[in-house]
Amino acid sequence: MYTQSLNTAVQRDGAEEDPQKLAAFQAKIDREEKIEPNDWMPAAYRKTLIRQISQHAHSEIVGMLPEGNWITRAPSLKRKAALLAKVQDEGGHGLYLYSAAETLGISREEMVEQLHTGKAKYSSIFNYPTLNWADVGAVGWLVDGAAIMNQIPLCRCSYGPYARAMIRICKEESFHQRQGYELLLTMMKGSEDQRQMVQDAVNRLWWPALMMFGPSDKDSVNTADSMRWKIKRFTNDELRQKFVDATVPQAEVLGITLPDPDLRFDEESGHYVYGEPNWEEFYNSIKGNGICNKQRLKDRVKAHTDGAWVREAALAYARKERERREAGKQAAE
Amino acid sequence: MSEQHTPLWEVFIRSRNGMSHRHAGSIHAADAEMALQAARDVYTRRGEGLSIWVVPSAAIIASDPSEKDMMFEPTGDKIYRHPTFYEIPEEVGNM
């Protein structure tokens, strides 16, 4: 239940927190108890969550664009229905997450504005183009696969509404990854051209998928607080390693190679060793200079602006109906 | 911000007959009819429900978490409200 009535004003940045409250809060988290919307929380916890959840929501919404691009050109009715359902799910995930963020005292309109003005970020992966049909499969397999790896530990996040949203999302993501992998398997059984399309898509999307886990631990500024508050359970590099370990054998079944000359299995650690992602490319994309950043934002802003009259009309209609009901009630009295 | 805020609704879903409605999440919509439709699209894409309630979020009255102890602590020491408080001879069996 997410009414705002009990939410107290967010504290100013840098304001001193009451040490007693702070200790009680940390003890609660250490006991694995969830924090709920109207519970006391440090301003920095609130701020971190608003940033993380809203950016997660933005990623889901912007993530509809690269795949939506292929709906009209899906090669069969089955693939079209699956892709439509997947893109609709992404929209739904965005909405679950916006709702979770709103429980922390930020409005939907504020969040949308932050996205549209470039103040809020979204996952760098969606700034890459989807150039051929195999990209739809590779996005499902690699991008949703990486997202699942990131999201499963978030189901145990200390903030209740975020954890509950993530449980719903994770249940639905599994279909996304499987349909993508199956799509690629089908193409691999096709012509030589189709196999090359798959290899090409994976070559382009492998590194961006690895970057989805965020910067290397040594350069990550947000990890320590998030770990202490149990917003995060694993570091970026730990999750990236899990993803690589899970994905390399799947690539072998598929019959493609991964574009990393340093990739090898390390008997001693039992893990795959992989090369260094191009972090300059990552930061560039985050800063707004990726391949599709401008296109993505332009499309989002256009969709929002084009829909403004619908929102206005719906609100005007609701107001008119309310007034009509009230007038009817008064006349009856 | 020039844009008008669209009202917030809480969504409750009955997953099958015999179960009570359970809070599923929230939704923005201009009126009740649109709230129901949006709730259906957002929260029941995979047969999650047979019935939906939508309630304006502003209409919900919530207890204050900071008064949690005052509200709920009084039941803490009333162990005589639980069946295990009463000792019954074993030969009586389940009761």
Task: Please report the DSSP string for A146-177 in residue order.
Answer: HHHHHHTGGGG-SBHHHHHHHHHHHHHHHHHH
Contact B42 A96 (CB under 8 A): yes
Give pTM, 2 decimals.
0.89
Q: Is the ipTM of this complex over 0.85?
A: no
Mean predicted confidence (pLDDT) in A161-182: 94
Q: Which amino acid is at A333?
A: E
- Tell me, what's the pLDDT at A1? 31
Contact A317 B30 (CB under 8 A): yes
**Domain coordinates of chain B in residue numbers?**
8-90
Chain A residues whose beta carbon lies within 8 Å of the beta carbon of residue B34? 314, 318
Least confident of A282-286, A299-303, B51-55: A282-286
The domain B8-90: what is its CATH number? Answer: 3.10.20.520
Q: Is the pLDDT of residue A241 over 80?
A: yes
Q: CA triplet A200, A205, A211: central angle to 5 degrees? A: 155
Q: Which amino acid is at B58?
A: A
At A14, is the pLDDT very low, low, confident or very high (cuts 50, 70, 90)? Answer: low
- Tell me, what's the pLDDT at A8? 34
Cα–Cα distance list, B20 to A54, A247, A267, B52 (Å): 31, 41, 53, 11
- Tell me, what's the pLDDT at A219? 80
At A224, is the pLDDT very low, low, confident or very high (cuts 50, 70, 90)? Answer: confident
Q: CA triplet A242, A160, A4: central angle to 5 degrees? A: 140
User: CB contacts < 8 Å between A and B, how many?
Assistant: 76
- Mean of per-residue pLDDT scores for chain A: 92
Question: Which residue is listed with tokens 């012509």?
Answer: A191
Mean predicted confidence (pLDDT) in A97-112: 95
CA distance B33 to chain A (A): 10
Cβ proximity of A197 and A165 under 8 Å: no
In this complex, the residue of A40, A96, A314 whose CB is nearest that of residue B34 is A314
Most A CBs within 10 A among B28, B36, B48, B64, hence the mutation to make, goes to B28
* Digit-coded pLDDT (tens) for A109-125: 999 999 999 999 999 99
Q: How many CB atoms lie within 10 A of CB A36?
A: 14
